[in-house]
């Protein structure tokens, strides 16, 4: 008997991030049924026709979400702001896998507490990291080169020439409030605008960044024990724009510590996505989807529970995986000061 086709509901499925996610899933599997949902489903009709085995649906989270209106769903992907946690909670209560990409560090506790009271039978993935986990996945790979890490400084560079949708636009305007950082082994909540940091860029210029409470910081602290960690948001010229090409999006990673060889070094890594912010986020979501559903030769994640991108995706060769999507990795090792 032929197994039932997998069905994925992408809320925000025809937006800039959602459409990139849908296309990556379709490239990996021609038979998965995709539901591209949002408040203006007519805007997704042409994409649904392009992808095949796809349909559009009306969902406005401000009005709630009625799962009974849909046939069986295997995975819900939230590519919109869902500050009421409707999609995650619906997924937990109905045994459906879910990926959510919009939460900051102080917004995950409601779902975390719900999970302590309910049995989670499908994977629920917090992916409110920068680019849905790609930054932290790279940090985890690079951290394996060190025996001890003192400081990890992170930044995401947004180029104003990079076309983004509402989801990303909300992210890039989210540095006005407080931000969680780790300093000297202590957790601090700082006023972002009052705590700038100067960041060296690819072209030997510098830019001012402001801290943002992405999930990267507490997660990286958990697996590195680094005493100093912060993520900053920068606005500036990307590598793509500087070359006269399409605006790219860059992730800057600096790890300062002791290498496995015993040498004290500073490792600088730039992850450059030539197709911009929305595509990088979509790649992160796709890699999680690939693991949850067992696409592209991956083993299907059948054990339910709360996950992060870096606890569900293997990081052993993540730089090679990213290169498959046209993403460039630039590394430089310097003497530690």
121 and 183 share a domain? no
189 and 323 share a domain? yes
Of residues 3 and 240, more confidently modeled:
240
3-state secondary structure string across the chain: CCCCCCEEEEECCCCHHHHHHHHHHHHHCCCCEEEEEECCHHHHHHHHHHHCCEEEEECCHHHCCCHHHCCCCCEEEECCCCCCCHHHHHHHHHCCEEEECCCCHHHCHHHHHHHHHCCCCCEEEECCCHHHHHHHHHHHHHHCCEEEEEEEEEEEEECCCCCCCHHHHHHHCCCCCEEEEEECCEEEEEEHHHCCEEEECCCCCEEEEEECCCCHHHHHHHHHCCCEEEEEEEECCCHHHHCCCCCCEEEEEEEEEEECCCCEEEEEEEEEECCCHHHHHHHHHHHHHHHHHCCCCCCCCCCCEEECHHHHCCCCCHHHHHHCCCCEEEEEEEECC
263 and 200 share a domain? yes
199 and 139 share a domain? yes
**Does pTM top 0.85 for this prediction?**
yes
Last residue in a domain, options 77, 105, 126: 126
199 and 328 share a domain? yes
66 and 109 share a domain? yes
Q: pLDDT per residue over 288-330, tens digit each?
A: 999 999 998 888 998 999 999 999 998 888 999 999 999 999 9
21 and 122 share a domain? yes
Residue 299 falls inside a structural domain: no
Determine the pLDDT at residue 169: 56
Residue 2 falls inside a structural domain: no
What residue numbers bound the domain in which 253 lies? 132-276+317-332
pLDDT score of 172 more than 80: no
Last residue in a domain, options 126, 141, 156: 126
Residue 33 falls inside a structural domain: yes
Q: pLDDT per residue over 319-337, tens digit each?
A: 999 999 999 999 988 877 6
Q: How many folded domains does the chain comprise? A: 2
Determine the pLDDT at residue 170: 59
55 and 194 share a domain? no
Residue 305 falls inside a structural domain: no
């Amino acid at each position: 008997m032929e197994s039932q086709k997998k069905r994925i509901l992408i809320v925000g499925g025809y937006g800039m991030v959602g459409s990139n996610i849908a296309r990556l899933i379709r490239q990996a599997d021609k038979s998965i049924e995709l539901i591209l949902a949002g408040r203006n489903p007519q805007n997704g009709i042409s994409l649904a026709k392009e992808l095949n085995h796809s349909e559009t649906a009306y969902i406005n989270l401000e009005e709630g979400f009625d799962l009974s209106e849909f046939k069986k769903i295997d995975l819900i992907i939230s590519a919109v702001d869902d500050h009421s946690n409707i999609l995650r909670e619906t997924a937990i209560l109905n045994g459906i896998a879910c990926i959510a990409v919009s939460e900051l560090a102080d917004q995950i506790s409601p779902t975390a507490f719900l999970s302590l009271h309910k049995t989670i039978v499908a994977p629920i993935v917090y992916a409110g990291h920068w680019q849905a986990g790609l930054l932290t996945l790279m940090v985890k790979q690079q951290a394996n080169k060190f025996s001890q890490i003192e400081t990890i400084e992170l930044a995401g560079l947004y180029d104003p020439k990079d076309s983004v949708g509402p989801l990303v636009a909300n992210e890039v305007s989210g540095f006005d409030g407080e931000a969680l950082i780790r300093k000297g082994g202590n957790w601090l909540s700082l006023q972002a605008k009052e705590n700038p940091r100067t960041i060296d860029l690819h072209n030997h210029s510098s830019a001012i960044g402001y801290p943002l409470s992405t999930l990267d910081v507490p997660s990286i602290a958990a697996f590195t024990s680094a005493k100093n960690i912060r993520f900053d948001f920068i606005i500036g010229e990307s590598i793509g724009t500087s070359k006269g090409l399409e605006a790219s999006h860059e992730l800057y990673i600096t790890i300062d510590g002791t290498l496995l060889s015993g040498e004290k070094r500073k490792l600088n890594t730039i992850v450059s996505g030539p197709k911009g912010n929305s595509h990088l986020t979509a790649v992160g979501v796709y890699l999680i989807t690939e693991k949850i559903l067992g696409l592209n030769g991956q083993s299907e994640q059948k054990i339910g529970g709360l996950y992060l991108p870096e606890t569900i995706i293997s990081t052993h060769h993540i730089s090679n995986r990213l290169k498959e999507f046209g993403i460039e990795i630039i590394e430089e090792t310097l003497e530690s000061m």
